[in-house]
Homo-oligomer: A and B are copies of this chain.
Amino acid sequence: LENSETDNFREEFLALHPYDQAQFYEKVGPDIRQIIYQYLSPKEMADIFEAIELDDDEYKGILEEMDTTYAAQMIAAMYTDDAVDVLNELDKDQITHFLKIMDKDSAQDIKELLYYAEYTAGSIMTTEYVAIPENSTVRSAMTILRNAAPDAETIYYIFVVDDTNHLTGVISLRDLIIAEEDTLIRQIMNDRVVSINVTDDQEAVAQIMKDYNFLAVPVINSKNEMLGIITVDDIIDVIDEEASDDYSKLAGVSDMVTFDKSPFAAAKKRLPWLVVLLFLGMLTANLVDLFTGTLEKVAILAAFIPLIGGTSGNSGTQALAVAVRGIATGDVEEESKMKLLLREAITGIITGVVCGAIAFGIVFFWKHMWLLGVLVGTAICCSIVVATIAGSFIPLLMHRLKIDPAVASGPFITTLNDITSILIYLGIATMFISKLM
């Protein structure tokens, strides 16, 4: 009876796609998960674990509820890149322990990948690829492929290497199945193979795979020795993460990859930025405070402070976002920094003059005070120009200094823009105070 229950569960459950299995697994409680561990082999559990989407800090708890040997066997059965992702969430001691009790080959593969820095090609590559010698025939290549198929992460690109494991070419399975069986691989392979260095940034890898529409790309070291491959599914995750990362930072949220189910987790992600900006905002308040003499005399000046600060902040954010995205996609690399800054300066002047003129118009028709209109218009124009230049110069500088432009630029630019716009506005107002009264 017990056995037939297991069989029924296994039959139903294993017919599902691993993603659906993972969805089920994530939803059930620890009791049912224990039953799943009993019913499924470590290898079957590995397929689920590859499709799972947990928060980084949840992996530890899940692995601790498994039998240690079972967990080690499961990690060993995963694709090396996924296994490394899981292990990276654990303490050093736990990693060592798991590596010790799993089979030696898997442990060796995993150890090699653990060594690569986060966000590099090495950290997202897998070692389960198919390589064939240059002088194989199509027939022998197909035999190698059939044997490798159950374990390889992809068999749709086959990489060609020489006797010393140097990458010399690539051939797609598409080309292989339409070729004559006796042809030598060397004759039909593509020898202009695009490869990635193991230390390259993962964003650069994503860009190449996107541009060339590759399903997989080979990873080599500086000696052109083949080390692994990166597959398109991992790249989709990278593209998604990087875009979401830049977006989070623009919005001032520390991380948006996971959608929070608890208000405390959400508050924890939002507070750091709010508090930093609160302190920086006090600088602005301090500055306005210096002009209370002017404001007491012409209180209407205060009415335009939010408008001028807001407009300057908006144009700064625009320039910042364009620069950050341009740096992320590599578009910025294509031209000189000076040319880019010059272009932003001209953009700032165009937008500044247009907005300044509109502001003058509105204030003039509303308050019938032409001097106040000129003042507000001039302040808006100047602060847009400054904000636009700062919004592109600061991220470029950060990039040069190897600081992530997205995270470091926001607070600087917001505060700088607030301060300059208020200085310009209240400064000019103070100069012409006698005419405004």
Q: Is A423 in the interface zone, CB < 8 Å from B? A: no
A289–B354 CA distance with the chains assembled, in angstroms: 24
Proximity string of chain A (390-420) to chain B, C-beta cutoff 8 Å, 1 when within and 0 when not: 0000000000000000000000001000100
Q: Is A263 in the interface zone, CB < 8 Å from B? A: yes
Query: Is the interface on chain A under 10, 10 to 19, 20 to 34, or 35 or more residues?
Result: 35 or more
Check if A273 sits within 8 Å of B306, measured CB to CB.
no
Q: Is A267 in the interface zone, CB < 8 Å from B? A: yes
Chain B CB count within 10 A is highest, among A155, A286, A299, for A299
Check if A244 sits within 8 Å of B292, measured CB to CB.
no
One of A2-10, A85-93, A311-319 at the interface = A311-319
Check if A304 sits within 8 Å of B285, measured CB to CB.
yes
Residue from B146, B149, B296 in contact with A299 in the complex, judged by beta carbons closer than 8 Å = B296
Which residue in chain B gives the minimum CB-CB distance to A287?
A: B303
**11 chain-A/chain-B pairs, Cβ below 8 angstroms:** A19-B212, A239-B243, A243-B243, A263-B344, A263-B350, A266-B322, A275-B358, A281-B307, A296-B299, A302-B302, A302-B305
Check if A354 sits within 8 Å of B266, measured CB to CB.
no
Q: Is A145 in the interface zone, CB < 8 Å from B? A: yes
Check if B347 sits within 8 Å of A270, measured CB to CB.
yes
Which residue in chain B gives the minimum CB-CB distance to A215?
A: B215
Q: Is A240 in the interface zone, CB < 8 Å from B? A: yes
Check if B302 sits within 8 Å of A288, measured CB to CB.
yes
Residue from B210, B296, B384 in contact with A240 in the complex, judged by beta carbons closer than 8 Å = B210
- 7 more CB-based (< 8 A) A-B contacts, given A262-B343, A288-B303: A17-B212, A142-B177, A146-B178, A149-B178, A210-B240, A252-B318, A284-B306
Which residue in chain B gives the minimum CB-CB distance to A147?
A: B178
Q: Which residues of B contact A351 (CB under 8 A)?
A: 267, 270-271, 274
4-61 of chain A: CB within 8 A of chain B = 15-17, 19, 51
Check if A321 sits within 8 Å of B256, measured CB to CB.
yes
Q: Is A67 in the interface zone, CB < 8 Å from B? A: no
Q: Which residues of B contact A307 (CB under 8 A)?
A: 278, 281-282, 284-285
One of A100-108, A219-227, A324-332 at the interface = A324-332
Residue from B156, B178, B213, B286 in contact with A303 in the complex, judged by beta carbons closer than 8 Å = B286
Q: Is A435 in the interface zone, CB < 8 Å from B? A: no
Check if A174 sits within 8 Å of B192, measured CB to CB.
no
A39–B75 CA distance with the chains assembled, in angstroms: 54
Check if A248 sits within 8 Å of B321, measured CB to CB.
yes
A146 to B: closest C-beta gap in Å: 5
233-267 of chain A: CB within 8 A of chain B = 233, 235-237, 239-240, 243-244, 246-248, 250-253, 256, 259-264, 266-267
A103 to B: closest C-beta gap in Å: 24
Q: Which residues of B contact A256 (CB under 8 A)?
A: 321-322, 325
Shortest Cβ-Cβ A-B pairs, 8 listed: A251-B321, A243-B243, A263-B346, A281-B307, A259-B331, A292-B299, A288-B303, A267-B350
Given known contacts A177-B145, A247-B247, A302-B295, A274 and B311 CB-to-CB distance under 8 angstroms: yes
Q: Is A310 in the interface zone, CB < 8 Å from B? A: yes
A233 to B: closest C-beta gap in Å: 4
Q: Is A194 in the interface zone, CB < 8 Å from B? A: yes
323-343 of chain A: CB within 8 A of chain B = 325-326, 329, 331-332, 343
194-213 of chain A: CB within 8 A of chain B = 194, 209-213
Residue from B246, B275, B292 in contact with A300 in the complex, judged by beta carbons closer than 8 Å = B292
Q: Is A359 in the interface zone, CB < 8 Å from B? A: yes
Given known contacts A142-B177, A247-B247, A288-B302, A358 and B278 CB-to-CB distance under 8 angstroms: yes
Q: Is A374 in the interface zone, CB < 8 Å from B? A: no
A364 to B: closest C-beta gap in Å: 12
